[in-house]
């Protein structure tokens, strides 16, 4: 288990924080959103349900769009477009 952050295509990034509990997922997400450009898409993969509420609130506060979310089996794949 290790956090990974990769560029998957032009303006598309993937952050995988599976295996981490709070506060790692939300703090790594914040750091990743700070790193990418406005309009870029971040695919976030995590498995700590509690982090989801904070990440959603963080996106809302910063104006980023949570454009898709796949929630199943204790794993979550969210796509966030940075404002």
Partner 1 sequence: MNMATTSPATVDTPWLFRKNNLQAMSVLMLVIAGSLWALSMDTRWVYLLVYVWFGLAYGMLLQYGRFCMASAVRDLFAVKVPRMAVGMMIAVALYAVVAAIVTLAGFSTFHPNAMGWHIIIGAAIFGFGIVFTGGCASGSLYKAGEGNMNSMLVVVAISFSQAIVVSASGWWDKLVPQSWVEAAAAQDMPAELTVTEGWFDIFTAGHIWNLKGTTTAEIFGMAESAAGIVWLNTFLTAILPVAIILVALYAFYYRKGYLRRSGKAAPTLGDELAGMWAMCTASKNTAIAGIGLGILAGLHMYVTGVLREHYGIFNFGELLVAMGYTNGLSIQETVFDPGYWYITTQEAQWGGWIMQKLGIDSMDSIFFGLDNGLPNPLLNAPGFMSIGIILGAAVMALSRREFKWKLPSWETAFFAIVGGTLMGIGARLAMGCNIGAFFATVTNGDPSGWVFLFGMTIGAYIGVKVFTWWMDWSTARKAGECGL
Residue 69 makes contact with partner 1 by CB under 8 A: yes
The residue within the footprint of partner 1, chosen from 10, 11, 12, 21 (CB under 8 A), is 21
Residue 67 tokens read as 């454009």
Nearer to partner 1, 38 or 65 (CB): 65
Question: What's the CA gap between 47 and 63, in Å, rounded?
Answer: 24
Residue 59 in contact with partner 1, rule: CB under 8 A:
yes
Q: What residues numbered 23-42 form the site for partner 1, per CB under 8 A?
A: 23-24, 26-28, 30-32, 35
Q: How far is CA 29 from CA 41, 51, 75, in A?
A: 12, 10, 16
Question: Which letter does DSSP use for residue 49 in this model?
Answer: H
Tokens of 49: 């349900």
Residue ranges in contact with partner 1 by CB under 8 A: 1-7, 15, 19-24, 26-28, 30-32, 35, 47-50, 52-54, 56-63, 65-75
């Amino acid at each position: 288990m290790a956090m990974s952050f990769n560029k998957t295509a032009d303006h598309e990034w993937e952050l995988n924080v599976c295996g981490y509990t709070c506060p790692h997922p939300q703090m790594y997400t914040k750091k990743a959103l700070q790193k990418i450009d406005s309009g870029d898409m971040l695919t976030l993969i995590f498995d700590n349900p509690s982090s989801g509420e904070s990440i959603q609130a963080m996106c809302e506060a910063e104006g980023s769009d949570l454009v898709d979310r796949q929630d199943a089996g204790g794993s979550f794949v969210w796509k966030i477009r940075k404002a």
